[in-house]
């Protein structure tokens, strides 16, 4: 089981090692340290209202996750979730869940995702993602793939079907999942990971949420 988890982390949760420099609006080179310090200063500023703190925490969490600091990102997402009194941000809680999964904090991740499932009042999309994350956690922690297998035939999860095939194959090593993935999505990134010598970029938790199809695959 330990070897399986190691493989899963390498293929699915590989963090970003380098943050690519970019030009700021003022034309100055982007500095990760300077920007995160600026955001932390604004978050701590008593003049920043609850909504502003929420938005700043979301921005900080995104930067930290991009840089591969999933532990720091999880903490920022957690603070963002409760930054506005009486208005819990369940999207932030689920982002925190993803980061916790990336660092192996499975129990805490499961608690957060299940909290959303039990108490969320947000849009249906939130519930769908929470269910998917819970199913991922059960598969990684216990090898329980029942929910993921059911989602293969659920139209609500159609966009994640190749990722589900991939996860099921990695966990079970059942060739049927690999064969169906290759047959149905011959040009997809998941298929290329299994059939080519490829590396995902940026890689961090890319199978856990929509948007992975826009990620460049490097040969």
pTM above 0.95, yes or no: no
Distance CA 30, CA 138 (A): 39
Mean pLDDT of all residues in 70-86: 96
- Residue from 10, 8, 67 nearest 36 by CA: 67
Tell me the residue range of the domain where 105 lies: 2-218
Q: How many CB atoms lie within 10 A of CB 170?
A: 21
Q: How many structural domains is the chain composed of?
A: 1
pLDDT, greater one: 77 or 33: 77
Residues of the chain above pLDDT 70, percent: 75
Average pLDDT for 173-201: 84
Is the CB of residue 98 less than 8 Å from the CB of residue 205? yes
The label of the residue with tokens 């695959």 reads 217
pLDDT confidence of 31, banded at 50, 70, 90?
A: confident
- 58-68: pLDDT as tens digits: 999 999 998 88
SS3 205: coil
Query: Residue 194 has what pLDDT?
Result: 85
Region 56-84 average pLDDT: 95
- 41 bridge partner residues: none
């Amino acid at each position: 089981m330990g070897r399986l988890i190691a493989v899963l982390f390498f293929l699915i949760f590989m963090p970003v090692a380098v943050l690519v420099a970019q030009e700021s609006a003022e034309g100055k080179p982007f500095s990760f340290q300077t920007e995160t310090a600026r955001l932390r200063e604004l978050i701590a500023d008593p003049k920043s209202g609850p909504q502003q703190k929420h938005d700043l925490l979301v921005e900080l969490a995104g930067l930290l996750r991009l840089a591969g600091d999933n532990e720091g990102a999880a903490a920022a997402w957690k603070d963002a979730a409760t930054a506005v009194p009486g208005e819990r941000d369940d999207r932030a809680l689920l982002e925190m869940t993803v980061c916790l999964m990336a660092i192996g904090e499975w129990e805490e991740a499961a608690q957060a995702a299940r909290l959303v499932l039990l108490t969320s009042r947000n849009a249906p999309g939130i519930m769908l993602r929470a269910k998917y994350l819970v199913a991922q956690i059960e598969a990684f922690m216990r090898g329980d793939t029942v929910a993921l297998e059911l989602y293969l035939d659920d139209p609500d999860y159609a966009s994640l079907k190749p990722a589900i095939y991939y996860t099921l194959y990695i966990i079970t090593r059942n060739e049927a999942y690999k064969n169906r993935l290759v047959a149905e999505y011959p040009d997809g990134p998941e298929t290329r990971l299994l059939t080519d010598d490829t590396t995902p970029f940026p890689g961090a938790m890319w199978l856990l949420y929509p948007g992975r199809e826009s990620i460049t695959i490097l040969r």
